[in-house]
Copies of this chain bind each other. A is one copy, B any other.
Amino acid sequence: MRTPDEHRALVEDFLERLAAPDGLGGLERAVHYALAGGGKRIRPVLCLAVGEAAGADPEGVLPAAAAVELVHTFSLVHDDLPALDDDDVRRGRPSLHVEFGEAVAVLAGDALLAEAFRLAAGYDTPEVVRELSGAALGMIAGQYADVTESEPDLLRLHARKTGELFGAAVGCALWVARVPPAGQAPWRAFAAEVGLLFQLVDDVLDGDGYVRVHGIEAARTLADTVAGRAEVRLEELPADTSVLSELVQVLAARGV
């Protein structure tokens, strides 16, 4: 079994070599700028680790894992736009629209989304695209609620903006590993806990979202509970989930 760091190295390498079929011309530079931001790659690592635990070859899961990261990056690029969250800095660097201008940022986000589906369509089953398009729609709906509602329901918002893509990271891996639908429920229950854990810890680190409404102690307590539930889910799975358990611990420890 590969460690999370080994999975991450696979993802970095794949993303670096990624090129659109006919080339995107100058837009490719903006796309790679967005992808090279040095994020934690948690979603694709989760995808690879679930795939391996479920019996798939990591090399075979890699395009799906990269597609998940592209959908995530697409959402960051568009959410950062002046008309939306208006964030000038992303992962310590100028956000894409600051570096390349707003027009290029819109188009680079579009290209990331389209490229994600191109990668997902490389599999012989359409399930990977179904998983990813459903998650993308959920994220977009979540972002819409975020920018238009004055008091959105936070846990529901989390579920859409973060949870859907964590669900797809796991779901894509299950389809690639050919886990039949009847056997997917416990894996998906694990995904739901991991997505919620990730968002709660993010809120603790940013003093945002759940923390702003319920306070930091309540957020930490809930995160611990959720991490515990994720571990219980893993124990129920008929697989070697040691690497996934390590991932849960890494995610939970971010907030301490």
B144 touches A104 (CB 8 A): yes
A190 within 8 A of B: no
Which residues of B sit under 8 angstroms from A107, Cβ to Cβ? 78, 84, 140, 143-144, 147
Question: Using an 8 Å CB-CB cutoff, how does the interface string of A43-81 with B read, 1 for contact, 0 for none?
Answer: 000000000000000000000000000000010001001
Q: Which of A127-135, A217-225, A247-255 faces chain B?
A: A127-135
A141 within 8 A of B: yes
Residue from B21, B105, B126, B133 in contact with A125 in the complex, judged by beta carbons closer than 8 Å: B126
A25 touches B137 (CB 8 A): no
Given contacts A130-B118, A133-B115, A133-B117, contact A141 B104 (CB under 8 A): no
B148 touches A110 (CB 8 A): no
A83 within 8 A of B: yes
Chain B nearest CB: distance from A156 CB in Å?
11
CB pairs A–B below 8 angstroms (30 shown): A20-B137, A21-B134, A24-B141, A24-B144, A27-B141, A78-B106, A78-B110, A81-B103, A83-B105, A84-B107, A104-B144, A107-B147, A110-B113, A110-B136, A110-B140, A111-B137, A111-B140, A111-B141, A113-B113, A114-B133, A114-B136, A114-B137, A115-B133, A117-B132, A117-B133, A118-B133, A120-B129, A121-B126, A121-B130, A122-B130
- Given A83-B103, A107-B140, 14 other A-B contacts at CB below 8 A? A20-B141, A22-B134, A22-B137, A22-B138, A24-B137, A25-B145, A26-B144, A103-B147, A111-B137, A111-B140, A114-B133, A118-B134, A122-B126, A126-B129
